[in-house]
């Protein structure tokens, strides 16, 4: 697979678990990456030009002059991810690679232990996903589960409190109320939301607190990546902090 973009390529080169095979850089991209490498390059770069990268990756791809041919990352077992600190995110049929990438980026920013996606309806590990993750694909484990409901049961058995997000939930998500729990946030696809069995398996279902607008109807729901970021912020909010 080809990874592209300065942040995604730099993070992949710094990841000892990522097997890199070929590195293509323009002169400008090499100059931008050199301070981040901080030593010998793990892989000797081949100098190229933007036209060649456009032809290789597709015109319109925002590659920033950097492309890395690499093997996909091996998936760690769930127990290994649970050994990491922080909340978890579970994605129920979230299929847009840009959304999954953005969720990984938010997960890295808020210290999440990992992201779990459904195997059948999740995007493959691609350059587009890695670009949207802006390096987070290399630091936040992305697991794929065959059955989301069974995975939620396993998370609950491991001590996680599973919270599904749905705009029609009666109560708003409250970070201070969850301070004593390890939370696994469960998010559904934008069109359909959480599937019935997924929702019923969660310990609770909550909505994001959305202020009513002074004029016009409130937006009924958010983009799933934006919702994930807000939910992660909320559950990280200290008990005595004012509501956002």
Residue bearing the bigger pLDDT, 210 or 22: 22
Return the closest-CA partner of residue 226 out of 200, 187, 178, 197. 187
Residue bearing the bigger pLDDT, 43 or 89: 89
SS3 call for 54: helix
Phi, psi dihedrals of residue 84, rounded to the nearest 5°? -80, 150
In this predicted structure, what is the pLDDT of residue 11? Answer: 95
In this predicted structure, what is the pLDDT of residue 241? Answer: 57
Cβ pair 132, 102 in contact under 8 A? yes
Q: At what angle do helices 6-14 and 27-37 cross, to 10 degrees?
A: 40
> Which regions of the chain carry the CATH code 3.40.1280.10?
78-235
Query: pTM to 2 decimals?
Result: 0.90
Q: Where are the beta strands (DSSP E) in the chain?
A: 2-4, 20-25, 46-47, 66-70, 88-92, 114-118, 142-145, 160-165, 182-188, 204-206
Q: How far apart are CA 128 and CA 130, in angstroms?
A: 5
Residue bearing the bigger pLDDT, 213 or 152: 152
**Average confidence (pLDDT) over 154-167:** 96
DSSP state of 112: -
Superfamily of domain 78-235: SPOUT methyltransferase, trefoil knot domain (3.40.1280.10)
Handedness of CA 117, 122, 126, 132 (dihedral sign): negative
Read off the pLDDT of residues 95-114 as tens digits, 9 standing for 90 and up: 999 999 999 999 999 999 99
Cβ pair 85, 38 in contact under 8 A? no
Cβ pair 173, 123 in contact under 8 A? no
In the CATH scheme, what is the code of domain 2-70? 3.30.1330.30
**Average confidence (pLDDT) over 13-28:** 95
Read off the pLDDT of residues 192-243 as tens digits, 9 standing for 90 and up: 889 999 999 999 999 998 775 444 455 556 899 999 999 999 999 876 555 5
**Average confidence (pLDDT) over 14-31:** 95
In this predicted structure, what is the pLDDT of residue 215? Answer: 44
Q: What is the DSSP string of 193-239?
A: BS-HHHHHHSSEEEB---PPPSSSPPPS---HHHHHHHHHHHHTS-T
> Which regions of the chain carry the CATH code 3.30.1330.30?
2-70
Q: How far apart are CA 157 and CA 173, in angstroms?
A: 22
SS3 call for 186: strand
């Amino acid at each position: 697979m080809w990874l592209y973009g300065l942040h995604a390529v730099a993070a992949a080169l710094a990841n000892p678990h990522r097997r890199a095979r070929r590195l293509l850089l323009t002169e400008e991209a090499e100059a931008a990456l050199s301070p981040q490498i901080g030593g010998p390059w793990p892989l000797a770069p081949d100098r190229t030009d933007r036209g060649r990268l456009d032809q290789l990756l597709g015109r319109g791809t925002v590659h920033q002059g950097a492309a890395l041919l690499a093997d996909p990352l091996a998936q760690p077992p769930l127990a290994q991810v649970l050994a990491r600190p922080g909340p978890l995110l579970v994605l129920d049929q979230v299929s847009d690679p840009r959304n999954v990438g953005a969720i990984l980026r938010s997960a890295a920013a808020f210290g999440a232990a990992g992201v779990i996606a459904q195997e059948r309806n999740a995007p493959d590990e691609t350059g587009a996903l890695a670009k949207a993750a802006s390096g987070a694909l290399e630091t936040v484990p992305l697991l794929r589960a065959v059955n989301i409901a069974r995975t939620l049961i396993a998370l609950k058995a491991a001590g996680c409190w599973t919270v599904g997000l749905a705009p029609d939930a009666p109560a708003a998500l409250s970070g201070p109320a969850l301070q004593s729990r390890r939370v696994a946030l469960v998010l559904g696809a934008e069109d359909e939301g959480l599937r019935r069995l997924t929702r019923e398996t969660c310990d609770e279902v909550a909505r994001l607190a959305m202020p009513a607008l002074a004029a016009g109807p409130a937006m009924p729901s958010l983009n799933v990546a934006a919702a994930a970021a807000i939910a992660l912020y909320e559950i990280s909010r200290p008990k005595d902090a004012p509501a956002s």
